Structure 1
Amino acid sequence: MNFKKIFFTLLIFLITTSNAFAFNLELVGINGQKTNVDNFKGKIVVMTFFDVGCYYCQKEVPTLNKLYELYGKNQKNVVVIGVDPFDHVDQIRAFASQFGVKYPLYWGNYSQTTPLGGIFATPTSIFIDKKGIPRVRVPGKISESDFIEIIKSLQ
């Protein structure tokens, strides 16, 4: 069985078995603005957890930048954000500058990731449906086409 078949089999399994609500994650933006994931309810949320020192997180920035542009800079049905629960806001701001991040970056309290199963590897992308239910969790770097396939599966 090839990787794509295994990936999408796992994807379907995750979509049909997860029922936890994600919408109680408070976020602090790199410019000091505060929000809660609950504010994105009604849209599909692509939330990629990263760490500023993670090589694969750095390599995923261009893909997430493209998605952010493709989905209307969070003005359409899909919100693309990065969340770093490990580093200080100043470090996250420096990461954004160094790697040309266009999508919003936030600091999120690691202890609040428990309803999402915790974050044990970076990058980890969590796809949340319009009702606020995390449907897909993918540890590791994801290709642009796989991001799009998962988003389409949630529309």
Structure 2
Amino acid sequence: MKKWMATAFLLTLFIIVIVSAITEQTGTENNKEPVSEDEMQSGGMKAPNAPDGLEVGEKAPDFTLQTLEGETVKLSDYRGKKVFLNYWATWCPPCREEMPEMQRFHEAYEDEVVILAVNGTGSEKSRENVRKFVEEGGYTYPILMDKELELNQMYQIISIPTTYFIGTDGVIQEPRIVGPMTYEMMIEKKDALN
């Protein structure tokens, strides 16, 4: 089941890349679906009939995952705090670009915002690759392991990195960002959350 889910996840990403490349190559604006403001902001594209993801105003679904160190963490453990829920993988170039920015943000604002970086472990070659990547990058925010890609499905993640912004009330308060975030974007989202 785990291998099937990882294969399905990778196949979906591959299809999105192919659809994006074909759409860009044809250059025909008349055949394109309207792009949402969220997608324009992030520079991402959405595959036809892809789920929209969770919406602003929805309660963020609770989950339980283990950290890279083996500790059990629940999203509800962070109720009362602002949370950036970021989904990533080591093999994803935009994720690798974003991680140092998140570390810089974490160091500056860890008292105000919790970053939960959820690794799509079911799509990784090995857990050891994740550990090595995190250690080499010096990333100190919590790294959660989605071994069965459950959170991937629960949060309707079709492209990575994807980040959800959860307020102190446990509700998604800002539109998700699909694509890498900059430090400045993170500050804007932090200030928008309550």
TM-score, normalized by length of structure 1?
Answer: 0.79
Matches within 5 A, 1:109-148: 109-116=148-155, 118-135=156-173, 136-148=175-187
Query: What are the within-5 Å matches in structure 2 for residues 62-77 of structure 1?
Result: 62-72=100-110, 76-77=111-112
Map of 1:153 onto structure 2: 192
Partner of 1:26: 64
1:13 alignment counterpart: none
| Larger relative strand fraction | 1
The CA distance in 2 between the partners of 1:59 and 1:128, in whole Å, is 23
Query: Which residue of 67, 71, 75 maps to 1:37?
Result: 75
Letter in 2 for 1:104: P
Deviation of 1:148 (Å) = 0.5
Residue 113 of structure 1: CA displacement? 4.1
Q: Render the CA deviation track for 1:95-149: whole Å, top value 9, x for unaligned.
A: 2023221212111342234443x11111111111111112231000111111100
Is 1:58 aligned with 2:96?
yes
Structure with bigger gyration radius: 2
Q: Secondary structure at the match of 2:62?
A: coil
Percent of paired sites with the same residue: 22
Question: Unmatched 5+ residue regions in structure 1?
Answer: 9-16
Q: For 1:38-96, what per-residue CA distance to the aligned partner results, in whole angstroms no more than 9, with x for missing partners?
A: 10110010111101101111111111111111113xxx231012101233533321220
Q: Match of 2:132? A: 94
Give unmatched runs, 5+ long, in structure 2.
1-36, 43-54
Aligned length: 141
1:46 and 1:79 in contact (8 A); partners too? yes
